[in-house]
Amino acid sequence: MTRVRLVDVAREAGVHPGTASRALNPAARDGVSRRTVRRVELVAQRLGYVPNTLARGLRTSRSFVVALVIPDITNPLFPQIVRGAEQVLSEAGYTLVLTDTNNDPATEGSQVAAMSARGVDGFIVATARWEDATLDDLAAVGTPTVLVNRRNAAGLFPYIGADDRRGVDLCVDHLTALGHCAILHLGGPANTSTARDRSDAFRQSMRAHGLSGDLSIAGASYTEQAGAEAVRAALQQGMDFTAIVAANDLLALGAAQALAERGITCPADVSITGYNDIDFMSRLSPPFTTVRVPLRRMGELAAQTLLAWLDGRPPDAATQVLLPVKFMERGTTARVAVPVR
């Protein structure tokens, strides 16, 4: 089958090949009328035209490929971020490639190095650790990079995240309004900004209510298993609590599992709040009270920020966009019961 060329599209649409090229390039079509853009798009679709991104890359010294680095493909948090980023990049003529580091810094470093060697134009990174050598390396060579969901201590790249402090405040406000005073914070790994920010917010919010914010235990990772292990440890240590503020939804699910093993019911005995509102939290029994984070919008903004950089408009490295969150009151919180022992 003969490949449809750009000149074929231009001839059929009755325009110059340069005009057809600009009409089909989202980054260059501002100088073409909407009517012409639409006519060229319809002809390209009808003829089955596929842009030659290799030739385009040779002309512009770009690959038109962006890499999105995530820590755990099995975590339901990330598909919405990926979807948001992919849609924006695809519309701009870029291909998104995805790599899963399995939460391993060495794997992350080797994967990022390999993709850099293959000429990706930039990175969206969702794996940032508070101290992160891979990000330091990307900054040293000036690779366009945007952080999403997590930031790092160095602050060398723009960051798109959520207003985590507000989200934790909403959880603590809700639980204290239900009469809870002994609230356990189930935190995430201390080497992530999300865990640090949410733990700090928990302590500050508890103290604002005149309560101790020191009842806390950290999960080793953002997984159900880590949540269950942390709550088992809290119970073994004799911590008394009537509610749990978990740093993410998977930790909250693990917490509920560990409580159930001891015959402790949720919410009759212990209330639990999660964080992120991943897809199935509203469909569980009982449905989980949690904080909804605009994950897809985070992905979209990260991609838009990176595209602006690639088009010659680099953002300030100190740029931080914190998107608003929403408290989702459901079935895992209730008025205070007798503290667990």
Cβ–Cβ contacts within 10 Å for residue 59, how many? 9
Minimal CA–CA distance to 315: which of 164, 173, 155?
A: 155
39-43, 182-186, 309-313 — which one is most confidently predicted on average? Answer: 182-186
Q: List phi, psi (to 5°) of 44.
A: -60, -40
For the stretch 154-200, pLDDT in tens is 899 999 999 999 999 999 999 999 999 999 999 999 999 999 999 99
Q: Is the pLDDT of residue 113 over 50?
A: yes
CB of 84 within 8 A of CB of 295? yes
Q: Is the pLDDT of residue 93 over 50?
A: yes
pLDDT mean over 237-252? 96
**Cβ density class 290-319: b for 16+ within 10 Å, e for less:** bbbbbbbbbbbbbbbbbbebbeeeebeeee
pLDDT confidence of 29, banded at 50, 70, 90? confident
For the stretch 117-140, pLDDT in tens is 888 999 999 999 999 989 998 898
Give the separation between CA 40 and CA 13, rounded to whole angstroms.
6
Residue 233, pLDDT score:
95
pLDDT mean over 297-323? 93
Percent of all residues in the chain with a pLDDT value above 70, rounded to a whole number: 94
Q: Is the pLDDT of residue 249 over 80?
A: yes
pLDDT mean over 280-307? 96
Give the separation between CA 321 and CA 300, rounded to whole angstroms.
12
Q: Which residue's entry shows tokens 């909250």?
A: 252
Percent of all residues in the chain with a pLDDT value above 90, rounded to a whole number: 66
Computed over its alpha carbons, how large is the radius of gyration of the chain? 24
The DSSP result for 252-319, as a single string, is HHHHHHHHHHTT--TTTT-EEE-SB--GGGGGSSSPPBEEE--HHHHHHHHHHHHHHHHTT-PPPTT-
CB of 210 within 8 A of CB of 216? no
Residue 62, pLDDT score:
72
For the chain, give the mean pLDDT: 90
Give the separation between CA 75 and CA 36, rounded to whole angstroms.
43
Residue 32, pLDDT score:
85
19-33, 55-69, 293-307 — which one is most confidently predicted on average? Answer: 293-307
Q: Is the pLDDT of residue 58 over 50?
A: no
Residue 54, pLDDT score:
45
Give the separation between CA 270 and CA 242, rounded to whole angstroms.
5
Residue 339, pLDDT score:
59
Give the separation between CA 155 and CA 149, rounded to whole angstroms.
14
Torsion angle of C-alpha atoms 145, 150, 152, 153, degrees rounded to 10: 140
CB of 37 within 8 A of CB of 22? no
Q: Is the pLDDT of residue 59 over 50?
A: no
pLDDT confidence of 28, banded at 50, 70, 90? low
Residue 51 burial class via C-beta count within 10 angstroms: exposed 0-12, middle 13-18, buried 19 and up: middle
Close Cβ partners of 245 (under 8 Å, ≥ 6 residues apart): 168, 171, 172, 175, 183, 184, 185, 186, 202, 273
Minimal CA–CA distance to 328: which of 297, 293, 292, 296?
A: 292
Q: Is the pLDDT of residue 60 over 60?
A: no
If you ran DSSP here, which 8-state letter would residue 34 be given?
A: H
Among the ranges given (13-17, 79-83, 209-213, 305-309), the one the predictor scored with the smallest mean pLDDT: 13-17
Q: Is the pLDDT of residue 243 over 80?
A: yes
Token output for 132: 């992160």
Cβ–Cβ contacts within 10 Å for residue 3, how many? 9
